[in-house]
Every structure is written in C-alpha cells, then in structure tokens.
Amino acid sequence: MHTADQRRSELAKASTNSSTANYDAALALELTASPESAAGTAANLEAALPTPSATISTSENTKYAAKTLIIGGIAGCTAKTVVAPLDRVKILFQTHNARFVKYAGTHFGLFRAGAAIYSEYGVRGLFQGHSMQLARIFPYAAIKFMSYEQLKMFLGRHIGDKHLRNFLAGSMCGVISVAVSYPLDMIRVRMAYITPTSGAPAERVRSVARMIYREPAYRFGLFNFFRGFPLSLMGIVPYGGVSFLMHEYVTTLARTRFAHVAAMPVDEQQLAKGRRRKQRELKGWAELVAGGISGVFAQTASYPFELVRRRMQIAGVHDPTKKASALKAIREVWSTGGLRGFFVGLTIGYVKVVPMFAVSFYTYEKLKMLFDLE
C-alpha cells in the first residue's frame, strides 16, 4: 500500500503532461488511495485534468464550439420554460403594472398574482410572451455558453488566477450574448407587460414590434429596440461574471473537498481510452445545487440594474414621444420606494433564478457529458 506522500509524488509525475494517458495514470492512483487521503488525492486529480487549450486542434475546437453552441441554446430554453410563469409575474412587479402592483411586497403576492392571471387568461396568460422568450433565449444562451468556453480557454493562456479568468470570461460572454439578443428581449418584455382586457386577443409579436418601431421617441425607429441597453451592459458584467465564477467554484469544491458525497464514484465513470471527458461527474443534486447557488449570487449583484432596465423598456408604453432616461427611472424608483424600491421583486427573482440556473447548468453539463465534451 502506498503512503500518502508516495501517492502524491507519483500523481505529480503522472500529471506533468496534460495528455489523456497521464490523466488515466493519475486516475488509477485515486482508485488505490486510502480513505484518509481521498480528499487530497481528489484535489490533485482535479489539477491533473487535461487543459483543453493545450490539447485541442483548430478543427477540433471548431467542432467543440459548434456543439457547445447548440447544447447551450437547448439548456437555456429548457430552463426558461420551467420558470416562464414566474418570469411573467416578476416583470409585472418590476414594471409596476397598475393591475398587479397591489400584490407586490405582500405575503404570497407571487402566488396571488399568478392565480389572478390564470383565472382571467388561463394557462396561456402565464406564458404570454414565452414564444418570443424562446426565440431570444436560444441565441442568447447558445452564444453565452459557447463564448464562455472559448474565452476561458483564451484567457487561461494569459491569466494565471483561475477565479479572475472565470469572472472575466463570464462577464465578456454576457456582454456578447446581450448585444445579440437585446431587441428580442425588448419585444418579449413588452408582450409580458401588456395586460389586455378580458376576452381581448393577446398581442402578437409582429404587432408589438411594429408598435415599438413606430414610437416617435427616436428619429430612427430601430433605436427604440435598444431602450435601456447601456444599463443592461452594466448589469450583465456582475451577472455573467458572478454566475460563472460561483458555478466553477462550487463545482470544483464538489469534485474535490466534497467528492465523497457530491461526485459519482470513479468506478462508475466511462473511462474508455478514447473518451475526452475525464473530470469526475457530479451527482444530479450536486449539479442542481451548484447552479442554484450561482444564480442567487448573480441575481443579488445585478438586480438593481435589471429593475431600472425593465422600467426603461416599458417607458414607451406610457409616453411614446419621450426617450428612455436611466436617471429618470432611478429617480422614480427612489421616490416611490427608496433603497428598497431597487429590490422590488427580488424575492420572486430568487424563486425564479434558483431553478432557472439549476436547470440551465444541469442540462448543459449533462449534455456535455452525453456528447463527451470536456
């Protein structure tokens, strides 16, 4: 039986090269490790993982980017569908909709507002604007996950601190994905905000887009689709950065320090020599918890930006002739609710974000495992 020091020494030798063969040698050492050194060996095993940027060719990277693009979009759509009713109610609260503001900040206000929507509009009312949401979220999530993976590999060659690397990669991928999908989000928010009288047909995507385009606030109608865009960029930096930073941090802890409870046993891994994905897989509950925790931190860091942005996006409904002003929206929020006003709907935000992030990251990681992506 090896001593702990001998195992660490052999593991270090096995992981000096980031090739798959050397990782397999490191993995074999973990299988023979005694329980008392399991945590330390797991940490060394994590460090021995092959670095994608060091082992992937240009053609392989192109295929990798295409696959992460597709599975990222699928993961985003799956998560948004799960929380669509919560998202509808949250937008009504954030934008101070006259018909639903009475429920905001009250006990069980979320459920009472949802019940009111259901009683008047049925199930379709809870999913109003969801078709536009899916059209927006697929490119948003696809670009977000794909660009994050690419940026993480690129920054990894220039930044030694992995936490800083993950935060910057998350922030930058968020900026890129928001810039691409913002006009679709604008239409989606308007559709979710509009509450037609009972029996009236729901607004269609084309009619809402035409209404936004024809608002006279800006000389060029296309600018109307970017109300609140600069503020959105400010908010996505902490949102994207913190979400990926926390997810990477929590999953690393789960694979190392808490591997004995959170990671799947090594002997259950598919360790065929041709398999690229060598990291220890987490149990389903651990993936969901890691995603939920990242969502809580990301939502808290970015919520005031999101609330003001929502106010700016629906400004054209109240006065189509005026340009949306961030300062005016901030003053309105402060005058009506003070500091707490910037966090109206945050509780429902948590209720929505925790399952959304949990399902999104869970689906993404499981699809990566299915397609054998590191």
What is 261-293 written as a DSSP string? HHBPPGGGS---TT----SPPBPHHHHHHHHHH
Instruction: Quote the CA–CA distance of 354 and 316 in Å, as a whole number.
Output: 31
Residue 10 has pLDDT above 80, yes or no: no
Percent of the chain with pLDDT over 70: 75
Which residues touch 85 (CB under 8 Å, ≥6 apart)? 114, 126, 127
- Judged by DSSP in three states, 374 sits in coil
Percentage of residues in the chain having pLDDT higher than 90:
32
* pLDDT tens digit sequence for 161-176: 999 999 999 999 999 9
- Give the angle 11-286-249 at the CA atoms, nearest 5°: 60
For residue 199, pLDDT beyond 90: no
| pLDDT at position 40 over 60 | no
What the block records as the tokens of 107 is 């006990």
Helix %, strand %, coil % of the chain (to 5):
75, 0, 25
The model carries a pTM of 0.71
Predicted confidence at residue 201, as pLDDT, reads 60
Sequence-distant (≥ 6) Cβ neighbours of residue 46 within 8 angstroms: 252, 255, 256, 279, 280
Which pLDDT band holds residue 63 (cuts at 50, 70, 90)? very high
Average pLDDT over residues 303-316: 77
Highest average pLDDT, of 123-137, 235-249, 301-315, comes from: 235-249
- Indicate the SS3 state at residue 298: helix
In the predicted model, is pLDDT for residue 61 greater than 70?
yes
The average confidence (pLDDT) of the chain is 79
